Amino acid sequence: MKPIIDKRLARPADRMNRLPAQFFAALVAKAGAEAAKGRDIIHLGQGNPDRPSPPHVVAALQQAAADPQHHRYPPFRGHAFLKEAVAARYAEDYGVRLDPQTEVAILFGGKTGLIEISQCLLNPGDLCLVPDPGYPDYWSGVALAGAEMAFMPLREAHGYLPRYDALAPEIAERARLMFLNYPNNPTGAAATPQFYEETVRFAGEHHIAVASDFAYGAIGLDGPRPVSFLQTPGAKEVGIEFYTLSKTYNMAGWRVGFALGNPEIVELINLMQDHYYCSLFGGIQEAAAAALGGPQDCVAELNAVYAGRREALFEALAEIGWLAERPGGSFFCWLPVPAGLDSVSFADRVLEEAGVVLAPGAGFGAHGEGYVRLGLLAGEERLREAIRRIGELGLFR
């Protein structure tokens, strides 16, 4: 006898209906469907690092996993040694002093914090400033909070930095939260110290909390380390920064991130997580501390790999007549689509006819239209092969 299912029991709450479509899940599904046909698919559309985690980090987890103390619940807000490790790393890399107890929250990956901060700071009807194009999961947290968004256009002519003087005064006055992300996903643009100084002034004048997404903070392709928002005088008075081990140490699957900076906001995130989680597995926390406190040669080597891949890619692009600006940071390239096509139709055609996955710019916001995002997440020869295939479509002649 079939069970009786009362569909009224699974009526979604209003917040579920507000959620945007999961852009990357749809992209992966589309690519998977093509791969299931037996085709050789080159997947450059997702920000998923393709190299393994450093051996000394893996070894630290293997050893810690056997320690019985980690088989029990960890402290609700995480181990002090991990908070101290990320504070020490910020002091060494950026000259930023953080109190490990009050200015550091441990996250289940940076994405978790980017969703949580909207729920911590926004009430229904409040306004959040969001970059366009930008990481789509910013929208998800705002939707769950029942808040509204105002988009800040990122244009090539302005270095893909928002223009605060272009925001309507009533928008600036209503806003309670603002997301920034440099090195930028999807454009690869970098921020300057002057831009962050302007940000601190603007946020302070309008009482806006700043959420700096620093996921690609270790990936600078032209020499100097990218600038941290927290290096700016007054930054901790107006906001926090989200840092993650996913890209710096190729630890995307380990799900370790941090919220750093303003102690009041950090406390709110900790409080919310007290109700959601009981912190990360202690063995992973030990391995994360080994990554932060151990040798950093692996970070420099990874930057060199991405820089080499970028050069190989742009040589191949030039050969087929696909002209674009080189990214200064992150492992993403922001490439204009050929005349006569929009980003979705171009990406679909490239997948169907060339077997290459690109992320259409429209998925990152209205101002992403006209571009596709390509990740430097395959070897140099594989990147050249991807562009060779696209060139054979004859779209750039």
Residues in the chain: 397
Going by C-beta distance under 8 Å and a sequence separation of 6 or more, which residues neighbour residue 234? Answer: 200, 204
Residue owning tokens 């995480």: 78
d(CA 304, CA 309): 9
d(CA 374, CA 376): 7
Domain ranges in the chain? Answer: 7-52+298-391, 55-293
38-81 residue pLDDT tens: 899 999 998 899 999 999 999 999 999 999 999 999 999 999 99
- The CATH fold assigned to 55-293 is Aspartate Aminotransferase; domain 2 (3.40.640)
Q: Which residues of the chain have pLDDT under 70?
A: 1-7
- The token pair at 45 is 């559309």
Instruction: Count other C-beta atoms under 10 Å from residue 8's C-beta.
Output: 6
225-269 residue pLDDT tens: 999 999 999 999 999 999 999 999 999 999 999 999 999 999 999
Pick the CATH number of 7-52+298-391 from 3.40.50.1100, 3.30.70.20, 3.90.1150.10, 3.30.300.130: 3.90.1150.10
Distance of CA 257 to the CA centre of its chain: 11
